[in-house]
Structure 1
Amino acid sequence: MEIKSICENKKQFLDLLLLADEQESMIDKYLERGDLFALYDSDLKSVCIVTRESDDVCELKNIATYEKWHGNGYGSKLLHHIFSHYKGKYTTMIVGTGDSPWILRFYEKNGFRISHRVKDFFIDNYDHPMFDDGIQLVDMIYLSKAL
């Protein structure tokens, strides 16, 4: 297994990034200003993007694993890599996600705790309704983790 920092041609990972954030115009808002990491285990399994939000805070903007590899620990391995990478550079990492039980469990299992909610985020910022497991995403749930 290898995790690479990707500095050029980040759009080549768009198909995978769209699994976690299904509107390309939203990805475009953070893709170039963020650090992109790709996890390979014989081939590409997962990617994530982290942005600087302040002197003390970075944000996990996107993390995605190909669906056929869900449950194999690739997302968690990628998270633990970025935790180590940013420790000492920032004091806190935040992540925003939809109100989906399985996603919230994933983040909580990896040390994040619910911080706050942004009401109607998905309705106000996306050009189409977003669904996860048949439930429409409305509010953005923010979680944070001390680094």
Structure 2
Amino acid sequence: MVIRKVETDKKQYLDLLLLADEQEDMIDRYLERGTMYVLEDDGVKAECVVTDEGDGILELKNIAVEPDFQGRGYGKALVDFLIRTYRGQYTVLQVGTGDSPATIPFYQSCGFRRHHLVKNFFTDHYDHPIYECGIPLVDMVYLQREI
């Protein structure tokens, strides 16, 4: 398993990015200003994008694992990599995600704790309803962990 930084042509991973954020214009808001990593294990299995949000906060804007390889530790490996890579440069790793039982437990298993809620985020910022496991997403939950 190798994790490498992607410096150019980040959109070549658009299909994977869209697994975690299904509206391309939302991805466009952070992709070029963010730092992207891909995890390869006999091919690309996962990716993530992080951004500097100021005040010592590094935000995980997008993390996705190929569907056939979910549940095998690739997502956690990326989070662990980010913590090791950015320790000493940032104090907090933050992630915003839908308030869904499909994603919150993953982040909690990686040491994240609920921080705050942004009401109506998905209805206010996306041009169509967003669903996760058949549940409509409305609010964005921010979780944080120390680095």
TM-score for the superposition, normalised by structure 2: 0.99
Task: Name the structure 2 match of 1:21.
Answer: 21
Q: Which residue is equivalent to 1:102?
A: 102
Count of aligned positions: 147
* Helix, strand or coil at the partner of 2:102: helix
Q: Unaligned 5+ residue runs, structure 2?
A: none
Deviation at 1:55, TM superposition (A): 3.8
What code does the residue aligned with 1:110 have? Answer: C
8 A contact 2:116–2:142 mirrored in 1? yes
Tell me the CA shift for residue 115 of structure 1: 0.4
Query: Superposition pairs for residues 57-68 of structure 1, below 5 Å?
Result: 57-68=57-68
Question: Is the aligned partner of 1:37 residue 2:50?
Answer: no
Q: Say if 2:2 and 2:39, in contact at 8 Å, map to a contact too.
A: yes
Q: Is the 8 A contact 2:102 2:133 kept in 1?
A: no
Matched with 1:71 is 71
Measured after TM superposition, the shift of residue 124 of structure 1 is: 0.2
1:1-147 aligned at under 5 Å gives the runs: 1-147=1-147
How far apart, CA to CA, are the structure 1 residues paired with 2:118 and 2:132? 18
| Contact 2:49–2:63, Cα closer than 8 Å, also in 1 | yes
For the 8 Å contact 2:102–2:132, the answer to whether it is kept is no
Return the TM-score normalized by structure 1.
Answer: 0.99
Q: Secondary structure at the match of 1:101?
A: coil
User: Among the aligned pairs, what percent are the same residue?
Assistant: 52
In structure 1, give the amino acid aligned to 2:7. Answer: C
**Structure 1 counterpart of 2:26, which letter?**
M
Q: Report the alpha carbon displacement of residue 100 of structure 1 after superposing the two structures with TM.
A: 1.1
Task: Provide the alpha-carbon RMSD of the alignment.
Answer: 0.6
The 1-side partners of 2:72 and 2:146 are apart by 25
